[in-house]
Amino acid sequence: MLSNRLDSKILKTRDSYVAKLKEMGIKTLADLLTYFPRAYRDEQEFTRINEMRTDEVNVIQAKIKSILNVPTRAGGVVTRAVVADSTGELPVMWFNQRHLKQMFFKGSEIILTGKIKFEKGRTMMMSPKYEKPAAVLLHTGRIVPVYPESEEITSKWLREKIFHLLPYAKFFDEYLPFWVLQGEGLLSYSDAIYHVHFAKDEDFLNKARERLAFDELFMLQFMALRRKKWWQEGFTGEKKQVSPELDMTYFYSALPFELTGAQKRTIGEIFTDLKRDFPMLRLVQGDVGSGKTAVAAAAIYAMVKSGYQCVLMAPTEILARQHYKNLTELLTRFGFNVQLMTGSMTAGEHAAVAMQLATGTCDVVIGTHALIQEGITFPKLGLVVIDEQHRFGVKQRAKLKAQGFPHLLNLSATPIPRTMALTIYGDQDLSILDELPPGRTPIVTRLVPEDKRSDAEFWVSDQVTKGRQVFVVCPLIEESDAIQVKAATLEFERLSKEVFPQHRLALLHGKMKADDKETVMQAFSQGDIDILVSTSVIEVGIDVPNASIMMIEGSDRFGLAQLHQFRGRVGRGAHQSYCFLFTDSNTDQALQRLKYMVKFNSGFDLAEKDLELRGPGEIYGVKQSGIPDLRMASFSNKELLDRVRACAQRLVDEDPNLTGYPVLAEKILKLESQMEVTDAA
């Protein structure tokens, strides 16, 4: 067993460093050995002095010909040295590293890593990394691990400590089944830990990273597939199947539009689920405007006609009211009793809806978390539709399952790559709406530099005069010294007084009371407000067909997926719509992301780019979802994911309770506990 705490004696360091490590989340020896590098530098090959290049990092091994400390006028010191090998000499300089004069002397060997420059007509190496030649090099002359650092804990410090503690890696227990290791050709866990830090060559490093990536995906897949198995096999009670006599002709004829091929395919997949012996657990993932609500309405219609009640649950009251408005218009024509239940309702209103639910007179209820409070009962709950389902926790969904195992249909307007969806939503069957209704005009997206701001604002004002409405989205509610971006409150004041004084403006943000937010949105929807200045609260659920312009301030502060959600708030009416991206950033990475917004209209294309650029935590919202950060695996590695999923499925089929694998069972239990804590938060 590895130590369950860090000890300064084991580390051979001061207690203050142990405290700093704990601040970084490193509390045990196991934590330190599994603190993986974030990158690597390939410095395996030494360069001779006469072959050094100015455009790359050089690693040389040479002998010191001279070294001295030279005081500066400011009270510091410059260490000057001349080193040489068989091909030539090289001047070297360091600033304020007085101790080097004691570490190295004339005639001693030194290894230097750095770039060279020309100064005063000669080649020089400024402030290079250094190391004494040894049997095992740590900082140069090898594949060098680079770790996430803090101000006090550097990569160099971590390399030295971790290297000397690596013999403890042999005490890590192997937890993957032998047939997985053998069949997939994976390193043992302890070997992977060793080589991920100090691989002797690139092949061993790749094998170590593959093993650790396999582990991360394997545990996520196992948990998801086991939940799916338990869901299907643990079902007891009435089979809530659609009526064999159900005729959907009346429903389809009542729709004011023609369904797309993707919608028809998805509805067919849902109806197949609704006829099975166990409840449905399906995710419908679709881009903005792909018609998820119509798909959900078809499922709701089928279940109500078959004698069951239905629930549609949304993450915010704004979105719940939007769904209530749309579904009421569609479903009441069939004689359905559709009700709304939210946290802002009065006690009397709440009780009245609860009574209708309990007596079975309410067919469909739409609301927020208020729907799963204590005291709400459904005598014949057949279907639960959860919109933007990743914002709801597993425990919250379990409360609905306790109402008699209803079918669960999850909707998501956050397009993510399929490989990522299979990992995150591995317990659900997946349907993808990858087709937009005909006639939707693509939104014109433009990246607006600061010197073109006034031109854009003048054009927007002209559009408002012609009857259009505008969204303005800002990253923050109030100004921040730490993040210098437009704040919604200050931007509202600027636009109201200086830019659009002739137009009607309003402010919307998450700190407002629910009634106040609803009043503002109602006024905007009715056309009583021309320009709505908002925070990201309008990311989902706002449907104003006359709004044709989206202006996003500090656009570099948002991920591509979120920017695409904002853009999806326009383009819903008959007029050509526009999205303007404003940014003060001039970094290559930020501008590249925003150029992708200009280039791609598909949310799925943007999700792939976001995954490449920012990783899964940013695109999906790891902290909200409970999904742990992946330190080694990539959701874009389809080949590895397919291998992992096959192995996880075999283990779920053979030993779902992991009775034959107690170490793996312990790790899974710990991970599930961590995810539940994050989920609940």
pLDDT in tens, 474-519: 987 666 655 545 688 889 999 999 999 999 999 998 788 878 888 8
Tell me the average pLDDT across 555-573. 85
Instruction: Return the sign of the alpha-carbon dihedral for residues 620, 624, 626, 628.
Output: positive
Do residues 264 and 404 share a domain?
yes
Identify whether 63 is part of a domain: yes
Instruction: In whole angstroms, give the CA distance from residue 446 to residue 548.
Output: 14
Instruction: In whole angstroms, give the CA distance from residue 350 to residue 423.
Output: 38
Do residues 463 and 527 share a domain?
yes
Identify whether 19 is part of a domain: yes
- Mean pLDDT, rounded, of the chain: 86
Tally of domains within the chain: 5
Q: Is the pLDDT of residue 541 over 80?
A: no
Do residues 265 and 307 share a domain?
yes
648 by DSSP, 3-state: which? Answer: helix
Instruction: In whole angstroms, give the CA distance from residue 2 to residue 61.
Output: 38
Instruction: Output the pLDDT for position 392.
Output: 57
Tell me the average pLDDT across 329-348. 90
Domain C-terminal end among 382, 398, 433: 433
Give percent of the chain above pLDDT 90.
Answer: 46
Domain C-terminal end among 565, 600, 635: 600
Identify whether 182 is part of a domain: yes
Which domain CATH number covers 308? 3.40.50.300
Q: What is the pLDDT of residues 14-59, one digit of tens each?
A: 888 888 999 898 999 999 999 999 888 877 778 888 888 887 888 8
- CA 500 distance to own-chain centroid: 36
- Choice among 96-110, 118-132, 621-635 with the minimum mean pLDDT: 621-635
Instruction: In whole angstroms, give the CA distance from residue 129 to residue 661.
Output: 46
Do residues 506 and 404 share a domain?
no
Q: Is the pLDDT of residue 677 over 70?
A: no
Q: Is the pLDDT of residue 678 over 60?
A: no
Alpha helices in 199-335 (DSSP H): 202-233, 249-254, 261-274, 292-305, 317-331
Identify whether 263 is part of a domain: yes
Q: Is the pLDDT of residue 348 over 80?
A: yes
Instruction: Output the pLDDT for position 595.
Output: 92
Q: Is the pLDDT of residue 193 over 50?
A: yes
DSSP H or E stretch at residue 73: none
Instruction: In whole angstroms, give the CA distance from residue 631 to residue 235.
Output: 36
Q: Is the pLDDT of residue 660 over 80?
A: yes
Tokens coding 63? 């002998």
Instruction: Output the pLDDT for position 621.
Output: 43
Q: Is the pLDDT of residue 679 over 70?
A: no
Beta strand 381-387 pairing with 407-412: parallel
Tokens coding 681? 């938060």
Do residues 363 and 255 share a domain?
yes
Q: In whole angstroms, how large is the CA radius of gyration of the chain?
A: 30
Instruction: In whole angstroms, give the CA distance from residue 54 to residue 52.
Output: 7
Tokens coding 612? 């490449």
Give percent of the chain above pLDDT 70.
Answer: 91
Tell me the average pLDDT across 119-142. 81
**151 or 331: which carries more pLDDT confidence?**
331
Identify whether 486 is part of a domain: yes
Q: Is the pLDDT of residue 102 over 60?
A: yes
Instruction: Output the pLDDT for position 477.
Output: 64
Do residues 211 and 309 share a domain?
no
Do residues 51 and 30 share a domain?
no
Q: What is the pLDDT of residues 230-277, one digit of tens each?
A: 888 877 777 888 998 899 999 999 888 889 999 999 999 999 999 988
Instruction: Output the pLDDT for position 374.
Output: 65
Tokens coding 187? 């390193």
Instruction: Output the pLDDT for position 619.
Output: 47
Do residues 187 and 137 share a domain?
no
3-state secondary structure 287-299: CCCCCHHHHHHHH
Instruction: In whole angstroms, give the CA distance from residue 306 to residue 225.
Output: 30
- Choice among 201-205, 460-464, 675-679 with the minimum mean pLDDT: 675-679
Instruction: Output the pLDDT for position 620.
Output: 46
Instruction: Output the pLDDT for position 263.
Output: 94
Instruction: Output the pLDDT for position 627.
Output: 58
**632 or 669: which carries more pLDDT confidence?**
669
Q: What is the pLDDT of residues 425-445, one digit of tens each?
A: 778 888 988 887 776 788 999
Do residues 481 and 593 share a domain?
yes
Do residues 254 and 378 share a domain?
yes
Q: Is the pLDDT of residue 184 over 50?
A: yes
Geometric angle at alpha carbon 235, from 233 and 236, rounded to 5°: 130
Q: Is the pLDDT of residue 370 over 50?
A: yes
Instruction: In whole angstroms, give the CA distance from residue 189 to residue 142.
Output: 22
**512 or 548: which carries more pLDDT confidence?**
548
Domain C-terminal end among 433, 462, 478: 433
Identify whether 177 is part of a domain: yes
Instruction: Output the pLDDT for position 509.
Output: 86
Identify whether 242 is part of a domain: no
Q: What is the pLDDT of residues 382-399, one digit of tens each?
A: 999 998 755 555 666 667
Do residues 287 and 411 share a domain?
yes
Instruction: Output the pLDDT for position 483.
Output: 55
Instruction: Output the pLDDT for position 394.
Output: 60
Do residues 368 and 473 share a domain?
no
At 302, is the pLDDT very low, low, confident or very high (cuts 50, 70, 90)? very high
Tell me the average pLDDT across 137-160. 86
Domain range for 82: 45-141
Identify whether 215 is part of a domain: yes
